[in-house]
Amino acid sequence: MGHKQTVTLIPGDGIGPEISAAVTKILAASGAEIDWDTHEGGEASALAGKGVMPDATIQSIATNKISLKGPTTTPTGGGHQSANVTLRKRLDLYANVRPAKSLPGYKTRFDNIDMIIVRENTEDTYAGVEHMVAPNVAQCLKVITWEGSERVAKCAFEMARKLKRKRVTCVHKANIHKLSDGLFLKAHEHVAKEFPDLTFDSIIVDNLCMQLVTRPEEFDVLVLPNLYGDIVSDLCAGLVGGLGVAPGANIGSTGAVFEAVHGSAPDIAGKGLANPTALLLSAVMMLQHMGELQKAERIEKALHAVLAEGKHLTRDLKGAASTMQFADAIIAKMN
C-alpha cells in the first residue's frame, strides 16, 4: 500500500464493539496500515437523537471510500429506517457481495466450496413499486435497467479479475422474463466482451439451485438480479456453515461498506462470547478490495489454522475461548 489508508469504522450495537475491537487488533497485527476514523451508527446513535446513520458517518464513508461496519440494531417503532437501508440508499451501494467458502472445523455436506455471489442491490422487485390494482389483486413491478445491470456486471468481472478467478456466471430466468431478465443477461454478455481472460456463461436460476445442492464446488463467481441474489446468497451461506460465519460487502460508485451478515446478537452482547469470524472475513474482503492481497491471505490462513486446530474456539463453536482469546490465537498463528 505504501501509505496509510483511512477507513471509516462503525463499531455498531450489541456485540459490534467487541468483535470490532478483536478484528482491528488482528488487522494491526497483520501489518495492514490503517487509520480508523470511528463513527456512530445504529440504535445507540438513534437513541442519542443523532439518527440511525448520522450525516457525519455518511460523509466520512463518502470521503474515505471504505468502511468496516459492525452490526447495528434496528430500533423498533419510532419510524426509524434501518441503518443498512439508509447507507445503501444514501451511498447508492448497488452490489452486495458475499463469498461462500468452506471453512475448516465447520462440518457441512461439502468441504470444497469457494464461490463469490454478487447480487444487484437496487432494482428488480425491490424498487418498491407495488400496489393493489383491485381489492383482491396485488401487483409488484420488476424493474431492470441496462445501466443497473451493466454496473453490477462490471463490478463482478472486475472483482473476478482482481481475485484471479476464472469464471463468471450470470444467473437469470430469461426464458420466462424475456424482457427484464433478458436485458440483465444481455448487459452481462456485453460486459463479458471486455474480459476475454475470464470464462463467461449463464444459467437459469432454478437449474442453478439444483446444481448448487449437488455439486457447488463447480461454481466460481455468480452474478444475480436482486431477488434471486437474496435467496441464493442465503442458500450458499447455508452450504458453508450458516449466516453466523458469512462475510459481506456492499459496493457502490462512491464507496464500499464491509460487514458481517449476522446481526447485533443482543442476547450475548457485552459478555465476550461473540465469534468475530464473519466480521474478520469481511475485513479480509476489505483488504482484497484495497489491493492488500498478501495481508488478506495471511489473516485468512491464520484463521483457518485456529479453526482447524480447535483449541481456541468461541462458545458457538463448542469452545470456551472469549472473543479476544480467539483473536489472540489468530494473531499468534500469524507470527
Residues that bind ligand NAI (CB under 6 A): 15, 71-74, 84, 244, 259, 262-268, 274-275, 278, 316
Least CB distance from residue 57 to ligand NAI, whole Å?
14
Least CB distance from residue 73 to ligand NAI, whole Å?
4
Identity of the residue, 216 or 247, whose beta carbon is nearer to ligand NAI in the bound complex: 247
Least CB distance from residue 88 to ligand NAI, whole Å?
11
DSSP string, 208-257: HHHHHTT-GGG--EEEE-HHHHHHHHHHHHHHTT-GGG-EEEEE-SS-EE
Identity of the residue, 168 or 280, whose beta carbon is nearer to ligand NAI in the bound complex: 280
Query: Cα(53)–Cα(41) distance, rounded to whole angstroms?
Result: 5
Secondary structure (3-state) at 312: coil
**Residue 248 falls in which region: left (phi positive, over 0), alpha (psi -120 to 50) or beta:** beta
The β-bridge relationship of strands 114-120 and 95-101 is antiparallel
Identity of the residue, 75 or 216, whose beta carbon is nearer to ligand NAI in the bound complex: 75
- Nearest by Cα to 259 from 236, 289, 223, 299: 289
Identity of the residue, 158 or 230, whose beta carbon is nearer to ligand NAI in the bound complex: 230
Identity of the residue, 174 or 330, whose beta carbon is nearer to ligand NAI in the bound complex: 330
Least CB distance from residue 167 to ligand NAI, whole Å?
29
Query: Cα(293)–Cα(287) distance, rounded to whole angstroms?
Result: 7
Least CB distance from residue 275 to ligand NAI, whole Å?
4
Residue closest to ligand NAI (Cβ) = 263
Least CB distance from residue 287 to ligand NAI, whole Å?
20
Query: Cα(45)–Cα(170) distance, rounded to whole angstroms?
Result: 39
Tally Cβ neighbours within 10 Å of residue 134.
7
Rg of the Cα atoms in the chain: 20
Query: Cα(54)–Cα(10) distance, rounded to whole angstroms?
Result: 11
Identity of the residue, 7 or 83, whose beta carbon is nearer to ligand NAI in the bound complex: 83
Identity of the residue, 171 or 278, whose beta carbon is nearer to ligand NAI in the bound complex: 278
> C-alpha cell of 67?
468502511
Least CB distance from residue 262 to ligand NAI, whole Å?
4
> C-alpha cell of 281?
472475513
Query: Can you count the helices (H) and strands (E) in the chain?
Result: 11, 12
